[in-house]
Structure 1
Amino acid sequence: MISAKEDVHKMSKFSVLNVVKKGQLFENKTLLKATFEICAMKHNFHYEVIKTDRQLWYVRCEDNECNWCVRAECLQDSEYFIIKKYVGEHTCAPSNKTKPGRTASATASAKTIAWDAREYAVNAVRGIPERSYGKIPKYLHMLREANPGTHSSYEIDSKGRFRYLFIAFGQSLRGFNRVIRRVIVVDGTFLKNKYKGVLLVATAVDGNSNLYPLPIGVVDSENENSCEWFMRQLNIVIADDHHLAFILDRHGTIAKALETVYPTAKHGICIHHLLNNVVTYYHGKGLVGLVAKASKVYRIAEFEKIFANVCNISPAIGKYLRDAEVQKWARCQFSGYRYDIRTTNPAESINSALRSPREYPIIPLLDSIREMLTRWFYNRKKKI
């Protein structure tokens, strides 16, 4: 015969094992803690927190002889926590769990219930994020079939995990090569879905000052390898040329990749970001007007006069502006044609238009971008 206490212990042991598992993701630390508070309440046991900070949450059973423990770590550049170690079986005596367990707070219970309901609803509408990555090859194939001239590329690591994705729509490329001014603005923004990542956007501006989207890329993180991969894919559809100009926000990884892949093209700096850096790092709010004026003048003699005043007032700011390479931010010094496109606002506007889709899994995100471009091109064609 199995005693009542042994039966309680057996039920607790197997039930707790099924609550969570190693490798499980939680959107933030609060939801992680709430899950285990409810777990402890349901299965009548206590745990103690061994270590907790922004990057780690480590707990174990209150009984030092018990093996039950959980170790969760924060994912890099994210609020998500992943369970790295989980021993779900209690080895302590059954009698230790007959006393009342810890009580989950009302807030923890409410948050967990609300989160479960949200996840169910989101997955029902947008699909399960994990399955979305497996559909990428088929989706890209159908995209190329339906849009002649489209170039796409997809890369995974040695373990089959997603790394990079690139899409350049054929219609967009044909228009750029025929009639669009050859100035490309490149910028990146963070994705807000379950697995994060970065959306890289290349954008031009048409003759009516409308946004003209060019290739987009999705990468696991914004680093030298991913940015260079994106630029090399871009180079396949838009070749390096001395008539071509790029405008960046002086982000190190994108700028370095651009210099490697597009050495002949002209490179410009977003004046808005440059002025922000002057204010933020050099407390030069009073000089912003002078620097902005120097960046806009057409004559070299006038530029040198204004820039000399800036250097006299603040040698540190003058040095910073020289190190940023004057020919990249001053209109009269720029060696190519940038057609008065002096900021990264075009790319940032695309990112803003995709504010909601950036929360979607990868396939719904790509489809939202496709639908947006189709709608834009259709509406503009009607006005011709």
Structure 2
Amino acid sequence: MVRFPKPTCEWVLHVSRSRNEQPWCVKTFLDNHTCLTIRKVRLYTVSAIAREVESILGSNPGIPLLALQDHLEKKNQIQLSLQKTFRAKVMALHRIEGDFKAQYSILREYCEELLGSNPGTTVKIHVERECNHASPTRQFRRIYICLGALKEGFKVNGRRILGLDGCFMKGPFPGQVLSAVGIDSNNGIYPVPYLIVEAETKISWEWFLGNLGDDLGLDQQSYFTFISDRQKS
């Protein structure tokens, strides 16, 4: 028995079906309202909204929150709060993209796959101990990746110049992505290594360039040019 929106209203809809799973049958229907109609539906929960918007976010995860709210209200002819829409969007994105902490926990497995499928690849992970030194877990700090094929190809055909740049990461675990991009013999862009660091600091840049120098075989006598994002050599 469902009464909408108040128990004192005469509007009644009663449906049921038999045990042999026959289609639903309307037993009672009184289409007579004695109350003001509202558009707030309590049964339209956050989990129900999340299931509905999964297909939308799968193809357009960056859809604005107001646009998503307007779409749901027009489609279902209901009133939906912005906070409820936000919670449903977060839940749907969590189902689509997975848990960030769970992704970090399988980082070593990802590195093992890179090493197994790309011979000569260099992967280095820097972690920190927890406050409790007896704890077996470690806190992720930064990671450096240089694929073997890109490394060997740059040594053979790359020009002795690299551009260094970084970009910010958004999400619950922010950081920065640093990369070194060279030029091949055909004047095309040639990516070499990439890494994720906690921030663009002197320590992170030293760690990056030290690993890059080891991969490319650079020393104090090497003749090489580095250009930063501000074009300062």
TMscore range, shorter length = 0.5 to 0.7
Q: 1:204 — aligned with what?
A: 182
Q: Which amino acid aligns with 1:183?
A: I
1:247 equivalent in structure 2: 227
3-state DSSP class of the match of 2:205?
helix
- Unaligned 5+ runs, structure 2: 1-79, 131-137
Q: CA deviation at 1:191?
A: 0.6
- 1:138 paired residue among 67, 85, 109: 109
- For 2:175 and 2:94, how far apart are their aligned partners in 1? 19
Give the TM-score of the pair, scaled to structure 2: 0.58
Counterpart of 2:124 in 1: which secondary structure? strand
Question: Higher helix share goes to which structure?
Answer: 1
Per the alignment, residue 214 of structure 1 pairs with: 192
Q: C-alpha separation between the residues in 1 aligned to 2:175 and 2:160?
A: 29
SS at match of 2:227: strand
Structure 1 position 127 matched with structure 2 position 76: no
Q: For residues 183 and 89 of structure 2, what CA distance do their matches in structure 1 show?
A: 39
What letter is aligned with 2:109?
K
Q: TM-score, normalised by structure 1?
A: 0.36
How far is 1:244 from its partner? 1.6
Give per-residue Cα distances to partners, 1:150-197, cap 9 Å, x unaligned: 000011111221101000000000100011111111111101122110
Matched, 1:113 2:84: yes
Contact conserved, 1:152 with 1:166, CA < 8 A, in 2?
yes
Specify the alignment match of 1:184 in structure 2.
162
Q: Distance in 1 between matches of 2:129 and 2:100?
A: 20
User: Are the aligned partners of 1:162 and 1:220 in contact in 2 as well (CA < 8 Å)?
Assistant: no
Find the aligned partners of 1:208 and 1:114 in 2 and give their Cα distance.
50
Aligned length: 145
Q: Is the 8 A contact 1:176 1:182 kept in 2?
A: no
Pick aligned residue for 2:206 from 209, 213, 228 = 228
The offset of 1:112, in angstroms, is 2.2
TM superposition outliers: structure 1 runs of 4+ over 4 Å:
none
Indicate conservation of the 8 Å contact 2:151/2:192, yes or no: yes
Separation in 2, partners of 1:213, 1:139: 20
Structure 1 equivalent of residue 129 of structure 2: 158
Matched residues in 1 for 2:157 and 2:212: separation? 18
Identity across the alignment (%): 29
- Per-residue Cα deviation, 1:93-119 (whole angstroms, up to 9, x for no partner): xxxxxxxxxxxxxxxx83322222222
SS at match of 1:161: strand
Q: Write out per-residue CA displacement over residues 305-350 of structure 1, whole angstroms, 9 at most, x where no aligned residue.
A: xxxxxxxxxxxxxxxxxxxxxxx4xxxxxxxxxxxxxxxxxxxxxx
SS of corresponding position for 1:137 = helix
2:165/2:178 contact within 8 Å kept = yes
Deviations 1:176-223 (A, max 9, x none): 001111111111110112211000011012233322111001011111
C-alpha separation in 2, matches of 1:181 and 1:173: 13
Structure with the bigger percentage of strand: 2
C-alpha distance in 2, partners of 1:113/1:121?
12
SS of aligned partner of 2:167: strand
Q: Distance in 2 between the 1:189 and 1:132 partners?
A: 21
Query: What runs of 5+ residues in structure 1 fail to find an aligned partner?
Result: 1-108, 251-269, 272-327, 329-384
- Please report how far the alpha carbon of residue 229 of structure 1 lies from its aligned counterpart in structure 2 after TM superposition: 1.2
Alpha-carbon separation, structure 2, partners of 1:218 and 1:128: 18
